[in-house]
Each structure stands twice: as structure tokens, then as C-alpha cells.
Amino acid sequence: NKIKSIMRGTPSEKTCNFNNIPVGEEVTIIGIKYQDNQPLLAFKKITITKDKTVDLDFKPITLRELKSKLEVL
């Protein structure tokens, strides 16, 4: 990815929307959420297309593992 940045999406009913990302841009989506007091993490590399929808596969992770993965970024 040529730009190192963090963007916060705009949540809607079952999705999270991101605006102003150029079509053709390669990005890495990193999703973090908590469910039943358990952190979950999803990573996905994609190329932006118009009206792109991406499904994320969240996996359980420990707080230590999460911190380690985020430090690499």
C-alpha cells in the first residue's frame, strides 16, 4: 500500500462505509471488534472498485496477539 493511513468508516445497519478512496487503489482493510468480551480481528487486501462490498472473516485473537500485529503496521 503506497499510503500509510487509518480511516474510520461510517457504520450503517450491517456494513461500514468508506468514502473518498480512489478507484484502483490497493488497500488493506483491518477490522477489529469485540464480541462476548473477546477481541476479533480481520485483515483483507483488496483493490478498490466502484461500489465495492467486502466481507470480512473475523477470527478470535488475544490482546497480546492483537498488539503484536498492530505494531508491525
**Per-residue confidence of the chain (73 residues) as pLDDT tens digits?**
677 788 888 988 888 888 888 899 999 999 999 999 999 999 999 999 988 889 999 999 998 998 898 888 7
Retrieve residue 54's grid coordinates: 467486502
How wide is the angle at C-alpha 28 spanned by C-alphas 26 and 30, nearest 5°?
160
Q: Which amino acid is at 27?
A: V
Residue 46 has a pLDDT of 93
23 contacts 46 by C-beta, under 8 angstroms: no
9 contacts 18 by C-beta, under 8 angstroms: yes
